[in-house]
Chain A
Amino acid sequence: MLGYTAHLRRDLARWRERGWISAEQEERMAADAATHSGFSAGSVLAILGAVLLCLAIVTFVAANWEALPRIVRLGILFGTLWLSYALAYGLFRTGRDQFGHAMLLIGGAVFGASIMLIAQTYHISGNPADAVLLWAAGVFLAAVLMLSTASLIFAILLLAVWLVIGETEGPSIPMWQFAIAWGLCAAAVWRQNSLLALHALMLVLLVALFREFMRETLAPGTVCLFGFAVYVLAGGRRGLTGDARAEHLFPTLATYGALVCLGDVMLLQVGEPLVSVPAASVAMLAWAGLAAALLAVAGAYRSRSFPPIVVAGFAVFAVLLRLVLPPLLAPLNDMTTFDILAGVLILVGSLWLIADGGRRGIRSISAAGYAFFMAELFYIYFKTFGGLLETALFYLLAGLLLIAMSAVFVVSERRKAQRIPA
């Protein structure tokens, strides 16, 4: 949010120079933006302090406290838990909300430490993932009841711990169980309308997707299509749900959709030996067809220029492509075809992202586009072209193409700018 305030100050200064606003108006607007930017050094420090206290509590697990009788240990645990929430109440009551939320976070940590310490006290060596899930549930409860962003992020990050512990020690967490927990957290993120929590939510999702990817339990291209669907959904018509939260959260959601979509193709391309390439190649083509059709559906939907029957037609076309394409394309299967296919998909996709991000004014989408574009060019440089001459030719053509495209953009932007009265 700090970036926004700085950016606004620059814009306001320019508008004042053009004579659109007075110096006094500029000051008032800047001051208003600063107070509403949601950034407060006090609350950030309180939360960070709470995180340190949480670490202190959790490391207490390792401390030498076995000498105390069991009843005393239990008394300490329950007492600390209730004390945390009593202190939180005192802070909320006196209007020190940011400290109240910090205290809530500490209460969540005490709850987790208690689970572990009770297991230790009674020599319970059950499934550690279950303990983490119980911990996450307790913290989630606090987050939902108190509308606490910090606690919600804590609960979401515990989901990642849950997944990782399931993987490293004990039976791994089934995807459907994770999906339920993640869905509940997603609903809370939507309700609390927190961008930071959305980032945590998407990062945990990336961890889960990566786990599935490494296990090769998903057909090649499935994750890509999922990301694409998120991108299309989040980029949907403005006011789609008639909710201000959509406008706040969806740009970030769209960026993650783009990252997942192209990231999956890139992983398939770079990690070739991991997946069976012929199957991947066919699937990729079919998914690309489906993606193109979906894009058409989304375009139609957004512009409202097509009647529902045409939109439905596109959807049927998409499904047909998915069914019909693979057998037709089977003869094309080999390493090189796959590589070229994935490369084209990533280059076209990243250019689309740069343009779409610019058009919608969402910088993170453009940034993702640039990143994928550069990454793919590097990949091509090291991988596909053997001779320097061919590589040079490729870059020449790609460069000329891009310059031509940029010229088109510049002209259209200039026309747009001319329509704004000076």
Chain B
Amino acid sequence: MTTRPQRFVALSLIAIALIQSAALAKIVYDRVALLRAGKEVVLKLVPRDPRDPFKGYYSSLNYDISQLDRRLIAGGRPDFSVGDTAYVVLRTGPEGHAVPASLYPSMPVEMAGDVVARGKISWVSPDRINLTYGIEEYYLPQMEAARLDNIPVDSIRIVAAAGADGQLAIKRLLVDGEPAYEEPPF
């Protein structure tokens, strides 16, 4: 190293810091853009562990759109396999949260009022298809987590932002329709 010119060392280090920062900034920027511009959709949770939805620092969330009936598959496409990308058309139901309407292998044309969510098939069974949307983990301050621990899952909703490509991002958390925990994008 001692044989290399000082200027080259400085330039290299700046390049490393810049490129690594750019990679991190890209993640943050994509998320912030999605949270700001995405369409809002209210999602209902279903209990995975019936007792405590917010275990410790983070909870793994299980949505009622995580498990879909096979009859929702649109068109003649016979099957999905694990790892495939799938697009779920969500429609706001009578209870105020999104209800899955149909499942597509590629981005469908959106109807007014519909929101399309993009997911990955995590496993399939003869009558059900399981998807993950990248919003299955929710991190909370310890105090908040303790406070939310005793609230029944049924009364919790997650408000997500959906991008034009169907990507979902968690925006805030509702308890009985009231914002219980929200953070600004920045």
- Chain A positions within 8 Å of B, measured between CB atoms, are 62, 64, 66-67, 69-71, 74, 77-78, 81-82, 85-86, 88-89, 92-93, 95, 97, 100-101, 107, 111, 114-115, 118-126, 134, 137-138, 141-142, 145-147, 171
Q: Which of A89, A123, A141, A171 contacts B20 (CB 8 A)?
A: A141
The 10 tightest CB contacts between A and B, nearest first, are A125-B137, A66-B141, A145-B12, A123-B170, A85-B17, A122-B31, A125-B136, A97-B1, A71-B186, A85-B13
At the interface, is chain A mostly helix, strand, loop or mixed? helix
Chain A residues in 8 Å Cβ range of B186 = 70-71, 74
Q: With A70-B185, A93-B9, A145-B16 as given contacts, are A123 and B135 in contact (CB-CB < 8 Å)?
A: yes
| Given A92-B1, A120-B137, A141-B19, 11 other A-B residues pairs in contact with their CB atoms under 8 A | A66-B139, A70-B186, A81-B24, A118-B28, A119-B27, A123-B137, A125-B136, A126-B134, A137-B23, A145-B13, A145-B16
How many angstroms between the C-alpha atoms of A145 and B8 in the bound complex?
9
B127 at the interface (CB under 8 A from A): no
Q: Which residue of A lies closest to B56 (CB)?
A: A62
How many angstroms between the C-alpha atoms of A158 and B13 in the bound complex?
21
Q: Are B16 and A107 in contact (CB under 8 A)?
A: yes
A-B CB contacts (within 8 Å), total count: 116
Q: Report the minimal beta-carbon distance from A305 to chain B, rounded to whole angstroms.
A: 43
How many angstroms between the C-alpha atoms of A82 and B20 in the bound complex?
10
How many angstroms between the C-alpha atoms of A39 and B19 in the bound complex?
32
Chain A residues in 8 Å Cβ range of B31 = 122, 124
Cβ contacts B114-125/A at 8 Å (1 or 0 each): 000000000000
Q: Which residue of A lies closest to B171 (CB)?
A: A123
Q: Are A122 and B28 in contact (CB under 8 A)?
A: yes
The number of chain B residues touching the other chain, given as a range, is 35 or more
- Chain B positions within 8 Å of A, measured between CB atoms, are 1-2, 4, 6, 9-10, 12-17, 19-21, 23-24, 27-28, 31, 35, 57-58, 60, 82-83, 132, 134-144, 169-170, 183-186
How many angstroms between the C-alpha atoms of A67 and B21 in the bound complex?
23
A sample of 10 inter-chain contacts (CB < 8 A) reads: A64-B142, A66-B142, A69-B183, A70-B183, A115-B23, A118-B27, A120-B139, A123-B139, A126-B134, A145-B12
